Structure 1
Amino acid sequence: MEISANLVKELREKTGAGMMDCKKALKETSGEFEQAVAYLRQKGLASANKKLTRQAKEGIIEAYTHTGSKLAVLVEVNCETDFVARRKEFQELSKNIAMQIAASPSVIYVRYEDIPTEFIEREKQIEMGKEDLKNKPAPMQEKIVQGRIEKTLRNYCLFDQPFIKNQDITIEELIKQTVSLLGESIKVARFTRYVLGQYS
């Protein structure tokens, strides 16, 4: 059966589970909302969002060097306890995140919320000045520009990237799955990408 995007969004907002998990839950329960909520709770996915808000001060710094040694990434991934930091699932997640950053040259921020206001305003001015908008009414210009900016800015954010090993989920959803599995808050604190010969 066809599941509407609005229903998926509503379920996501109520449970905090990833978009793909919500879609699957609705399909499994033939679109029955409350049954889908129960399905996600049984799977342990509904509480992932709450766990993400808890403090995470332990963790690891993961290093990844791409074949040929001309590109490397350092990423700090945090969790709540040293016990979880030593878990193979947490370390595998950290490796996957480092590889994702290496494979995503446009990514410069962890989350959409991290993008500075002045950066967003600059992108807006660039879009507003484009030739194809000049003859359109102001409200339409605003709507088009908003859509374009959203798409552009999401390309800069790690959490919004489709996971390189499974394009059906984003990095944010991958992290939420690991949060559900390990039962602790997990955060990507910061990352640095090193490209041979680039110093800026």
Structure 2
Amino acid sequence: MAISAAEVSKLRKMTGAGMMDCKKALTETDGDFDKAVDIIRKKGQAVASKRADREATEGVVLSKVTEDGKKGALVVLNCETDFVAKNESFVALTQSILDLALASNATTIEEVKELKLNGVAIKDVITEQIGVIGEKLDLPYFAVVNAETVVSYIHPGNKLATIVGFNQSGFENQVGRDVAMQVAAMSPVSIDKDSVPQDVIQKELEIAKDQARLEGKPEEMLDRISQGRLNKFFKESTLLEQIFVKDGKISIREYLKNTNKDLTVTDFKRFSLNN
């Protein structure tokens, strides 16, 4: 049967596949749209299996907050090349996934992959797009922060994003943005020293002892030296103790107290494609 340009255009709009792929799929299925979509999806699966051993290290990192400012989400969609990552349709796909995930009750990446985007599970949408784009795609990371106030930040270029939760509302937007940018710039390991995982603390103590031994320090001094270096680690690597990058004279904890004595950070998430 003859396939009209309107039918091809409709299928292309549904799947994002190329005009020739859409025409071929419709021709094979005698104009049956559901079967044509299956053919395009199978093509994506075939390309995906061929690309399985390739690395998808480029991509887009986006974050967003709900209108009431009490929930934020961050999502990462990987591809193989920077050329694809900068493509408007790829960024738009990532944004659509983020919008849907933020509006849902999803808390894990597995739950996000099962959400329906225009009636199709996100995991299947990604498979279809592998066939369309011809690169390995992956949805490796999703995070949510719920708090009295949540602020998001996306670094120019869509390679790095953060979401930060605060225990209060009503403070200036710039304060929240400053802290979200601090998280982006300084990559803290936790909010404060009390929230640093014990395995991280042990690792830092061991590293400090090994360094001190290499420097020829006496064995009986190693515990004291390693504790001192651990305290330095806390100051450099925990958010509230870090020096505020926009000031240099005060910590983030002091910056927040200058805004409101009880204002603090309750949670944060950060993802960068570069580290």
Distance across 1 between alignment mates of 2:269 and 2:200: 19
Q: Secondary structure at the match of 2:217?
A: coil
Q: Which runs of 5+ in 2 are unaligned?
A: 1-145
Report whether the alignment pairs 1:60 with 2:60. no
Q: 1:188 aligns with which of 240, 260, 265?
A: 265
Distance across 2 between alignment mates of 1:61 and 1:71: 17
Distance across 2 between alignment mates of 1:60 and 1:131: 43
Q: Which runs of 5+ in 1 are unaligned?
A: 1-56, 80-84
**Pairs within 5 Å for 1:44-59:** 59=148
Structure 1 residue 170 displacement after superposition: 0.6
Q: Secondary structure at the match of 2:265?
A: strand
Distance across 1 between alignment mates of 2:191 and 2:147: 18
Structure 1 residue 138 displacement after superposition: 3.0
Give the TM-score taking structure 1 as reference length. 0.57
Give the TM-score taking structure 2 as reference length. 0.43
Taking structure 1 as reference, are residues 117 and 94 closer, same or farther at Cα in structure 2, changes over 3 Å only? same
| Contact 1:76/1:190, CA 8 A, preserved across alignment | yes
The number of residues matched between the two structures is: 130
| Contact 2:236/2:242, CA 8 A, preserved across alignment | yes
Q: 2:217 aligns with which of 116, 136, 160?
A: 136
Structure 1 residue 152 displacement after superposition: 2.1
| Contact 2:149/2:165, CA 8 A, preserved across alignment | yes
1:22-55 Cα offsets, whole Å, 9 max, x none, are xxxxxxxxxxxxxxxxxxxxxxxxxxxxxxxxxx
Structure 1 residue 94 displacement after superposition: 1.0
Distance across 2 between alignment mates of 1:134 and 1:166: 34
Partner of 1:121: 202
1:49-104 Cα offsets, whole Å, 9 max, x none, are xxxxxxxx96211011111221111111121xxxxx234x2x22111110110111
Partner of 1:92: 174
Report whether the alignment pairs 1:160 with 2:241. yes
Distance across 1 between alignment mates of 2:248 and 2:274: 31
| Contact 2:236/2:243, CA 8 A, preserved across alignment | no
Distance across 2 between alignment mates of 1:166 and 1:197: 26
| Contact 1:163/1:169, CA 8 A, preserved across alignment | yes
Amino acid at match of 1:61: V
RMSD: 2.3
Distance across 2 between alignment mates of 1:168 and 1:197: 28
Report whether the alignment pairs 1:145 with 2:226. yes
Structure 1 residue 149 displacement after superposition: 1.9
Taking structure 1 as reference, are residues 197 and 160 closer, same or farther at Cα in structure 2, changes over 3 Å only? closer
| Contact 1:133/1:141, CA 8 A, preserved across alignment | no
